[in-house]
Each structure stands twice: as structure tokens, then as C-alpha cells.
A and B are shown apart, each in its own frame.
Chain A
Amino acid sequence: MATATRYLLAAKDLADARYVEPLTVSDLAKAAGMSRAHFSRQFRDAFGEAPHQYLLTRRLERAAALLRNTDWAVTDICFAVGLTSLGSFVTSFGRVYGRTPRQYRESFPPAQRHIRIPMCVARAYGRRQNRTFREADAPIEA
């Protein structure tokens, strides 16, 4: 039993490490060396959650973090966490977080305020160069 659990853990580790890739339950079952149906039952027994649900939960958690901490578009976040359908993403997100991704983002301060960006550094990048705008070419009057 311990050996089987170890293989299941390998599949769970794979989901944790590679959820941004187009992983499927079949990939996880393969990592555990089990048939898909057997793997799904064993995974649920061991971890209390079906593998597809576990994978989706990881992706949605990550999406929530990206909604809070970046200014990426919702569509970009959907694809960045390994999901391929924006409609399914919005629906799944709503089931877990009780609101749309956009509403979830709006319930937090904007990332630009929420993230601690050292403004001295940002300003150093954006500071305009000292320019005289044609003054240098103009004769200097006494």
C-alpha cells in the first residue's frame, strides 16, 4: 500500500510542478503507472479529491494569485495556468471563488498599489533626460 501511495504522490508532485502545462489525468495516471480509472479511484482514496479536481484547484489557486499580483489580462492568466478554455475557466473560477475572475481582481487593491514596487527605482527608469529642446542651439543672450 505504501508503495502505491508513493506512486500516487509522484503523480500529485507532477500536478504541482507542471500544472501550467497541458497535463491531463491520463498523464498523471501514467506517472503513477496505473490505468486511468484505477488511478482516479486510488488518488481520491489517498488524497480525498479526484485528480482532475486537484489539478483544477491548483490552476485556479494560481490564477487567483496572478489576478491579485499581476496586471495580466484574464485571458492571458487562463492560458498561463494551463487552461485552454476561457469560458470553462470563468465558470470553474466562479464555482470556487463565488465571483468572476474580473470581480475577484476588483475586490483587491490594483496590483500597481498592492505590490510593493520600489518607486525610486521605477522613477529612475522613467525619469526624462534633461533636455534643453533647441535651447542649446539658440544663441545665448547676455
Chain B
Amino acid sequence: MIKLANAQLWVRDQDEALAFYTKNVGWEVLADVSVPEWNFRWLVVGPADQEGFGVVLMPVPGPPMLDETSGAQLAELVAKGAGGTIFLETDDCQAAYDDLSARGVVFNDPPTEQAYGIDTSFRDPSGNNIRLTQVLEFSLDRGGQGS
């Protein structure tokens, strides 16, 4: 069996991302280990009540992994919203929206009814998109696909 273990996001600053995902989003640190000889920090966060999956917060690399120009371009692309998206699910989109808003998360849009449920989204400080969905029984009466 093959299963999903971790997914990775590029972040512009690991400490900034760590603070955002723990203090604002309310996730926990699953691992934070530095390997000084490789100038590397393995930083993984995830929801407190979900075991077996984490999001690796990886710094945008510089030379020799990426030349400086490409690294800057990658950071710029993420900042422009062309990085990855994490899709989260919740039992109550409005309650999660209220809770995270109170914690300082700034949402892109309020909870909005869609055919597949209710969803909203926000970005991390680097520009990665996080979509938060309350899945409901599919109904075009609630909203058209893509509306």
C-alpha cells in the first residue's frame, strides 16, 4: 500500500511560516529538526487531531539547488499565488472561519455556498493558498459549479 505522508510548500521564511501555521491556524509542530552540516531545517506542521500527515514548510532554495535568479523567481511566483494549494475540510466552515479570523487569519473571501458545499480560502504569508471546505451533498440549488 502506498499512502500520502507529507506534502511540501515553499515558504519565504520558515520562522514566519511556523508562527502562522501554529499561532494563527492552530496547527501543531510535528517535527522541527536542524541539520547544521547541511544548513537544512526539516520543519513539519499539521492539524492537531489528524495523525499521519504533515505539511513540510521548505524554504525557497538558493544556490546550488537553484541559482539566485531562479530562487527569487520561485519566491515571486509563490507570492503571486502560483504556488501550491492545500485543501482542508471542516465540519463547519462558518465556525472555522470565525475561529481563524479571531486568531488573525485574513480570508480571501467569506464562506460561500457552492454546489459541493461551503468553502472559503486564505493565504499563508508566503502566498500559498489554503482552501477550507465544508463538504455537503452535491446540489446545484446551492450554487453552480465554479460559482
Number of A-B contacts (CB under 8 A): 63
Contact for B35 among A65, A122, A127, A128, CB less than 8 A? A122
Min Cβ gap A65→B in Å is 8
Q: Mark A13-33, 1 if CB is under 8 A from B, else 0.
A: 000111010000000000000
Please judge, given known A-B contacts A16-B48, A17-B26, A130-B64, whether A125 and B31 are in contact too, CB under 8 Å. no
Min Cβ gap B5→A in Å is 8
A interface bracket (residues with beta carbon within 8 Å of B): 20 to 34
CB contacts (< 8 Å) of A52 on chain B: these are none
CB contacts (< 8 Å) of B35 on chain A: these are 112, 117, 122, 126
Q: Which of A40-48, A66-74, A86-94 lines the interface with chain B?
A: A66-74
Min Cβ gap B97→A in Å is 15
Q: Mark B44-56, 1 if CB is under 8 A from A, else 0.
A: 0000110000000
Q: Mark A104-131, 1 if CB is under 8 A from B, else 0.
A: 0000000110010100011111111110
- 12 new A-B contacts, CB < 8 A, other than A112-B33, A117-B35, are A16-B48, A70-B29, A70-B31, A112-B34, A112-B35, A117-B33, A117-B40, A122-B38, A125-B39, A127-B65, A129-B64, A130-B64
